[in-house]
Amino acid sequence: MKDYYVIIDCDPGIDDAMAIMNAVNSENIEVKLISTVSGNLTIEETMKNALKLTEIFKVDIPVSEGAREPIKRQPVYAGLAQGTKGMGGYTFKTPKTKPFILKSPDAIHFFLNENPAKNTTILCMGPMTNIANLLKKYPEAKDLISRIVFMGGSKDEDGSTVPYREFNVAYDPEAMQIVFDSHIPLVMVPMELGHIAYFTPEEQQKIKRANSVGEIFYKMFTKYNDYHVGKLGAAVHDSCSALFLSNPEIFRTEQAFLKIDYYKKDNTEYGYIKCDFGAKEPNATVCVDVEIEKFKKIIYGNLFNYN
Ligand code: RIB
Ligand code: CA
């Protein structure tokens, strides 16, 4: 029984790749579209990676091309952390799979209307640009979305080792503001979850030994220098948002009021999500912890589907 009719919006991206593998192997998730956005890399690279991932994961899911830059500011790519092509040390030839005929946000709008129950969940694992463009072009789309589960933002206001607090929000804070203004129910899966959800070098060896898909992830991880956890291993931030959909029971959540705020550093303005966990009128659910052993066991289980 598929509980969720899901549209994924992402910028693959190594942790996006691991998250997509989990989502498409989850019993209670039906992924209807993989929409791509620029973020970790250019839209050309994130599209190519997403098309290739559907071939690796042996799924026939449409992949649509989305926004090539933020709605207002200039793009600043996070490619360094994800390798020059966004797949770390894994290289591949141009995928054979063709993009979906529609581009996002039209592709997202098409599948929102395809869902007879009009209760689609959007799993957003990159900048919110496509969702903002959807809401600008089709304001009524907000009534077709039951909730947006997004990897983005940070629960605490310090601890970031790079100028921005969290990449997805910093890349396009104006898009995040448009999503807040829509009042669509939100679940935020912040960067701190990736400080818990990371694979150590020993665990990466276990992934490598699993099968050919595990070997591909191992190659991706070989060049995945995640700023948040340093040399400790590969932080799989996006998988936290995907597993919140498939296995919400392993997460602890709190209610908070979220809003976009800005600060200046070295003459550059950065946007981030300010969280008020004591707010009388919260506007979002925030994941604050995860049972990491169960988290990893679920991922290994999904990976072993390819044995
Ligand atoms: O801050 C982590 C987020 O930025 C993840 O979605 C990762 O893929 C990068 O896009
Ligand atoms: Ca991502």
* Token output for 269: 């303005």
Report how far residue 190's alpha carbon sits from residue 21's, in angstroms, rounded to the nearest whole number: 20
Q: Work out the percent of the chain whose per-residue pLDDT is above 70.
A: 94
Q: Averaged over 225-229, what is the pLDDT?
A: 57
Residue 157: pLDDT band with limits 50, 70, 90: confident
Residue 1: pLDDT band with limits 50, 70, 90: very low
Tokens 């150590």 found at? 200
CA 128 / ligand 2 centre spacing (Å): 11
Q: Averaged over 265-271, what is the pLDDT?
A: 90
Taking alpha carbons only, the member of 154, 166, 104, 165 closest to residue 132 is: 104
Structure pTM? 0.96
CB-count burial class (<10 Å; 0-12, 13-18, 19+) for 283: middle
229 pLDDT more than 60:
no
Q: Averaged over 162-190, what is the pLDDT?
A: 95
A 10 A CB-CB count for 60 gives 7
* Ligand 1 proximity of 13 Cβ (cutoff 6 Å): yes
A 10 A CB-CB count for 95 gives 18
Residue 58's identity, in one-letter code, is: K
* Token output for 244: 């919140």
* Token output for 266: 């070295």
* Ligand 1 proximity of 153 Cβ (cutoff 6 Å): no
Q: Averaged over 218-244, what is the pLDDT?
A: 83
Residue 182: pLDDT band with limits 50, 70, 90: very high
* Ligand 1 proximity of 228 Cβ (cutoff 6 Å): no
Higher-confidence position of 50 and 230: 50
Residues taking part in catalysis: 237
Residue 161: pLDDT band with limits 50, 70, 90: low
Q: Averaged over 37-54, what is the pLDDT?
A: 97
